[in-house]
Amino acid sequence: MTTVGIDAIEFRTGKLKLDLPGTFAPQKGEDPEKYTKGLGLTGSSFPDSYEDIVTMAANASYRLMDRKGLEPDDVGRIDVATESSFDNSKPVSTYVAGCLEQVFDGEFGHANKGERKFACVSGTQCVDDAYNWIRAGRNRGRGALVIATDTALYARGDAGEATQGAGAVAMYVDEDPDLVALSTEQGYGSADETDFLKPNQQFPSVDGKRSVQVYLARMREALVDYQSVAGRVHPDDFTYAPFHTPFPGMVRKAALLAYRHVTRDTAIEDELAEEIGRQPRREGFDDEEAFTGAIREYMDGLKGTDRYREWYAETIDPTIEISREVGNWYTGSVHVARISALKHALENDRDLAGEKLLVGSYGSGAQAEIHVETVADGWAEEVAALDVDDQLADRYDLEWAEYEEIHDVHNHETDVEVEPRTAPDAEFVFDGWGPMGERKYRYVE
Ligand code: CAA
């Protein structure tokens, strides 16, 4: 059976940057280390005044198609995952196709287009839809363009303001992929939750502390469900574990729980027992409080062990390197984590072909999904073609007053125009409003 998976990937950051320890923390009267050490963030990406979810999606897609020599005729579906959409009917994918038709000779008239919603997990759901469509043999030899694009903004003054970000990840899902192959095995943890939602409003209503607990609970359920179909997961089975990264500190919490879970009843637990004892088992305790207290104590011990720290440094830290600098991209975030890990491997001369990634996606509301991907032979060439470092270095560093203005520019409730801080260069830009309230876009040479 031929493999199906992600053949190519592209990364597009918003062209502005907010320095969290340097600019944000002093304004809030907070210790910069809350950001660098606590949340694990140094910066957030923001869109300039001519950028939005469509321009970032179209610019990532154009680069991907151009680099891979793809024409509109090669693309049988365009699916956009976003939780920042500005239209309840017309999907962002139609705007993206309209942009791309300005620069390619062909058209996307044959392509099935849509928009997927389930908070941040919908990017992965779009990849799944593409996989299923190809596996079902309905693709007529074509691949799917999947784009995760968001401006992850919070209301000014909300605790989430520290974790904002903006960017798009475009992926081409096809047979015999060059980057990673997917499989049929998946695990889910899903429940009706109201920790983070946007009931017909742009900025989220968030119960931040609870959202962290919901993330951990659903992720744990997804891992258990994954093991029920794929068998036990052992830390040696995978090289990296890219997880949804609302902020790196969240992944730090999830990684510790996951490590405890996958090392239970293994030689690793036995080896660690001399130093920190064995993992507490529920049956060894009379009441829940004593059991959770013992777990907390075990986890505190575990995170200080050399064994855990080495595993974390090798398996998790490389996945959050980019996220530290760009913040949360909602639907794109787990796909940024995958790019981050693969980029780290390339820069450290690792040969990853055939190795496995344990990928954990998550969307508030809430649902987690876990699957394993196999790195394909062409991965290094694909990752070498990315220009992540240049894009990050080229971002314009916002002063506080400029940040306040740009937040207003992207606030749907305010009508503010400010001069862009950067100059468009060979890219799609927002070009004002049409007669039916539609947003218009233009390619600037
Ligand atoms: N030095 C070192 N560390 C410090 C510090 C200092 N001076 N000051 C604070 N810290 C640490 C804190 O101890 C804390 O770490 P722990 O949780 O490990 O204890 C961390 O920095 C953050 O500090 P606070 O909890 O005090 O921060 P906060 O009250 O401002 O809120 C937040 C943090 C709840 C995550 C908030 O940013 C928020 O609401 N974010 C949006 C919601 C979110 O991202 N939730 C994540 C799960 S939901 C999801 O994943 C979907 C999604 O994309 C939104």
Q: Which residues pair with 317 in a beta bridge?
A: none
Distance 38 CA to ligand 1 centre (A): 7
245 lines ligand 1 (CB under 6 A): no
Question: What DSSP state is assigned to residue 370?
Answer: E
| Measured torsion, CA atoms of residues 60, 435, 153, 93, in degrees rounded to the nearest 10 | -40
For residue 92 the two structure tokens come to 């962002």
CA distance 418 to 138: 46
Residue 385: how many CA atoms within 13 Å on its side-chain side?
18
Q: How far is the CA of 123 from the CAs of 50, 94, 323, 334, in angstroms? A: 24, 17, 16, 8
Domain span including residue 153 = 4-444
Pocket residue to mutate for ligand 1, from 212, 213, 252, 335, most atoms within 8 A of Cβ: 212
What total number of domains does the chain contain? 1
122 lines ligand 1 (CB under 6 A): no
Inter-residue contact 305 to 272 (CB < 8 Å) = yes
Tens place of pLDDT per residue across the chain (445 aa): 799 999 999 999 999 999 999 999 999 999 999 999 999 999 999 999 999 999 999 999 999 999 999 999 999 999 999 999 999 999 999 999 999 999 999 999 999 999 999 999 999 999 999 999 999 999 999 999 999 999 999 999 999 999 999 999 999 999 999 999 999 999 999 999 999 999 999 999 999 999 999 999 999 999 999 999 999 999 999 999 999 999 999 999 999 999 999 999 999 999 999 999 999 999 999 999 999 999 999 999 999 999 999 999 999 999 999 999 999 999 999 999 999 999 999 999 999 999 999 999 999 999 999 999 999 999 999 999 999 999 999 999 999 999 999 999 999 999 898 999 999 999 999 999 999 999 999 999 9
Pocket residue to mutate for ligand 1, from 27, 121, 163, most atoms within 8 A of Cβ: 163
For residue 312 the two structure tokens come to 């974390």
Q: What's the pTM value of the predicted model, to 2 decimals?
A: 0.98
CATH number at residue 215: 3.40.47.10
Helix (H), strand (E) counts: the chain: 15, 16
CA distance 151 to 411: 10
Given 120, 221, 344, 373, which residue is catalytic? Answer: 120
The single residue listed with the structure tokens 């992850």 is: 152
Longest CA–CA span in the chain (Å) reads 72
Question: What DSSP state is assigned to residue 190?
Answer: E
* Atom 47 (ligand 1) nearest CA: 212
38 lines ligand 1 (CB under 6 A): yes
For strands 439-444 and 427-433, give the pairing: antiparallel
For strands 396-397 and 16-19, give the pairing: parallel
Given 10, 51, 83, 369, which residue is catalytic? Answer: 83
438 is catalytic: no
Residue 211: how many CB atoms within 10 A of its CB? 20
Inter-residue contact 244 to 121 (CB < 8 Å) = yes
The single residue listed with the structure tokens 């047979």 is: 175
Residues in the chain: 445
